[in-house]
Structure 1
Amino acid sequence: MNDHYLKKLDRVTAILTQLQSKPIVRAQDLAEKFDVSIRTIYRDVKTLENAGIPIVGEAGSGYSLMDGYKLPPVMFTKEEVLSFITAEKLMQRFSHQSLGTHYQTAMEKVRSVLKYSDRNLIQHIEKQIAVFNYRPKTEDSVKNIIPTILESIAEKNQLSIEYKTVDSIVSQRTIEAVGVFFEFNYWYIMAFCTLRKDFRQFRVDRILQISKTQNPFSQEYGQINDYRRNPEGNRMKVRLLVDKKIIGHLSNSKKYYGLTEEIETDKGFELTFETEWIDEGFPRWLITFADYATVLEPESLRTKLNDLLIKISAKHT
């Protein structure tokens, strides 16, 4: 069997896996995934149909397996099995506690369909992989909180939550969840708050109570990154000149605080931000490397930074 037919066999098998795992699969998406023409995908689908696989759909719309059709368990390669082990270790350390039990159950099902040799491989190698995590452990007041949030997104129904702010102020909110994300050691919900009539981030461990309602979303939402990259609110432009020796340590945090432009100059890196956190969050972040940075604008940030330094100095002298 030559290389061409081996590639086709691998691709056709992968297309079958896609059909098993998704309700609708578009030819255009498959063509992009496997870097082939759409016409090639049409031929691959025809190959599956000729092999007796009942595929519903047609070119130009999408493909799916006939409802109720069952296929034998998918066989995993050795590389895929090894990736499962690594993923499991990461999930044990970084997954939210409301997802951990469900993931463990899912992995038990995956292990049950592995060949004996692959199960033996897992047993020997899993103790050789370690993931060290130094994030603070948080305890949620609500069981299965993230699955509840994800169900509300899928069903497009509002959530009712009791939320405690960083100042320990408790309020009742009705929200329309857009998505969840993990950042800086915490899980957050990005949602439209019906009380504020605006998009807000809610830290999951500060939710005291949560319940799904029967009220549908008031509008359609895009992907979560659409809202995180373009947050609503009053944003202020900030420009900093940062020493080159420290810039590498800001690679992740600078994006979080609204970096829009970065220019290297002879004196250092000139960073431009658009931030909503000019009063508290931004100056407290800036103070962690203030000895390597100069505030170019606005003047109000210099004032806030100086006031914060005076408070810190007074408290520790």
Structure 2
Amino acid sequence: MEITKRFHRIIAIYFQLQGRSIVKAQDLADRFDVSLRTIYRDMRSLEQAGIPIYGEAGTGYSLSEGYRLPPTSFTQEEIISLAAAEKLMQKFVDPDMFRHFSTAIGKIRSYLRYSDKTNMMLLEENMWMSSPGLTFNEKVPEALSVLFESISMRKTIVMEYRAVYRDQPNIRKIEPVGIYHEGNFWYFVAYCHLRDAYRQFRIDRIHKVSRTDETFTREHKPLSHYLDKKESHPSWTVRLRVELEFARYLQWDRSYYGFESEQIDGEYVVMTFQSNNPEQEFARWYLRFADHAQIVEPEALKTCVRRIIDHIKI
């Protein structure tokens, strides 16, 4: 069993090397939950098998330029994943990015056996994803593609962007750092030359975008560095007392509003949240089901909800 497990790990390591320009030993150790010593031993096994691996201390491992094995066959589980991925991409990325992905999937299909192609078609015919809605600006179908190109090529972007507090978009030159999906929207972090600072932007608020030939003016830290700062903003601890029979209807939305835990209390469920925007975002979400829930704390949130109710026009 241990020999079989090691064999599959070594094969998986090879595919990691084949799919990436540089692979770090620590990343492999974390991925396969083994020690660094085990990874070093696996690398020696690949080298003894004739795989030309180049390694440099402090950098990582890579395959010698130009070395590739012919395409391998796919397992049934991998084919299922490809079919599912194409449907997910259709929903969660913009039209331009989906077009590129479909082209890539088409090339992969050419290596599949006839039976595998048939199975993939059958899966696709019986999978459906709802429309992405307002996730992207329809006038800018290439937004994600341009951002990804900018990050990989380290080229600045010029865009027309309308912030939530503006009636009209303004022009900004930015250096994108990274892209992430949260809630129902795509966001990206970038160094903004207009503000001379790092800012968070929402992709559906881009009205026009183009990549320039200008190289980034600075070295940026990984996206996680800026997301950690974003999450470190002061937050409120919120507790709601929700009717037990109704609580199940909140399980899909609550994670977007900082849900942390829940505890059953008789005919109620006490839910605890950490909210970064309680006065507007959380308060307005609460009003959607306020007839089935009570705010336990904080008192300030109750005040926010009452203020919103007082301004309701009927």
Q: Same fold (TM over 0.5)?
A: yes
Tell me how far 1:4 sits from its aligned partner.
Answer: 4.4
Query: CA offsets per residue over residues 206-240 of structure 1, 9 Å max, x none?
Result: 2111223415244522224x434542897453533
Look up the match of 1:179: 178
Distance 1:268 1:88, change over 3 A: closer
1:23-60 residue CA offsets vs partner (Å, 9 max, x unmatched): 12233333333344433333332232222221112677
CA contact (8 A) 1:239 1:298 kept: no
Q: 1:166-315 counterparts in 2 under 5 A?
A: 166=164, 168-213=167-212, 214-224=214-224, 226-231=225-230, 235=234, 237=236, 239-245=238-244, 246-251=246-251, 253-258=253-258, 262=261, 264=263, 266=265, 268-269=269-270, 271-276=272-277, 278=279, 280-291=280-291, 292-294=293-295, 296-299=297-300, 301-312=301-312, 314-315=313-314
**1:268 Cα deviation after fit:** 4.5
Distance change >3 Å, CA 8–CA 159, structure 1 → 2: same
1:287 CA displacement: 1.2
Query: Would the aligned equivalents of 1:262 and 1:270 in 2 still touch at CA under 8 Å?
Result: yes
- Is residue 133 of structure 2 the alignment partner of residue 131 of structure 1? no
> What is the CA deviation profile of residues 57-115 of structure 1, one whole-angstrom value per residue up to 9, with x for unaligned ones?
26775221111223211322222112211222222233322211001000001111123
> What residue identity is the alignment partner of 1:102?
H
Which whole-Å CA distance do the structure 2 matches of 1:149 and 1:43 have between them?
39
> For the residues of structure 2 that align with 1:32 and 1:169, how far apart are their CA atoms?
47
SS in structure 1 opposite 2:4?
helix
Structure 1 residues 92, 4: CA separation in 2 closer, same or farther (over 3 Å shift)? same
1-structure distance, mates of 2:45, 2:153:
36
The Cα of 1:251 is off from its aligned counterpart by: 4.1
| SS in structure 2 at match of 1:288 | coil
> Partner of 2:79 in structure 1?
81
Q: Tell me how far apart the structure 1 counterparts of residues 178 and 184 of structure 2 sit (CA, whole Å).
A: 17
Structure 1 residue 148 displacement after superposition: 0.9
Work out whether residues 181 and 188 of structure 1, in 8 Å CA contact, stay in contact via their aligned partners in 2. yes
Q: Which residue is equivalent to 1:162? A: 160
Between the aligned partners of 2:182 and 2:240, the Cα distance in structure 1 is 26
Q: How many angstroms apart in 2 are the aligned matches of 1:189 and 1:106?
A: 24
Please report how far the alpha carbon of residue 155 of structure 1 lies from its aligned counterpart in structure 2 after TM superposition.
3.3
2:29–2:36: 8 Å Cα contact kept in structure 1? yes
**1:188/1:203 contact within 8 Å kept:** yes
Q: For residues 169 and 93 of structure 1, what CA distance do their matches in structure 2 show?
A: 28
Distance 1:26 1:216, change over 3 A: closer
Pair 175,101 (structure 1): closer, same or farther in 2 beyond 3 Å? same
Matched, 1:63 2:64: no
In structure 2, what is the Cα distance between the partners aligned to 1:6 and 1:60?
30
Q: Which moved more, 1:13-22 or 1:105-114?
A: 13-22
Q: Mean Cα displacement is larger for which, 263-272 or 129-138?
A: 263-272
1:76 touches 1:114 (CA, 8 Å); kept in 2?
Answer: yes
Matched, 1:23 2:21: yes
Q: Compute the RMSD of aligned alpha carbons.
A: 3.1
* Alignment partners' CA distance in 2, 1:54 and 1:254: 50
Pairing partner for 1:118 from 116, 119, 124: 116
Quickly say closer, same or farther: Cα 1:195–1:276, change in 2 above 3 A. farther
Q: Please state whether the residue corresponding to 2:287 is helix, strand or coil.
A: helix
What SS class does the counterpart of residue 162 from structure 1 fall into? strand
Assess, with a 3 A threshold, how the Cα gap between structure 1 residues 200 and 185 changes in structure 2: closer, same or farther: same
CA separation of 1:151 and 1:85: change in aligned 2, threshold 3 A = same
Residues in 2 aligned to 1:77 and 1:45: alpha-carbon distance in whole angstroms: 24
Distance 1:170 1:59 in 2: 48
**How has the CA–CA distance of structure 1 residues 93 and 254 changed in structure 2, closer, same or farther, with 3 Å as cutoff?**
closer
Distance in 2 (CA, whole Å) between partners of 1:159 and 1:125 is 39
1:233–1:87 distance in 2 versus 1, CA, 3 Å: closer
Contact 2:55-2:61 within 8 A present in 1 as well:
yes
Give how far 1:285 is off: 1.7
Other structure's SS at 1:243 match: strand
1:45 aligns with 2:46: no
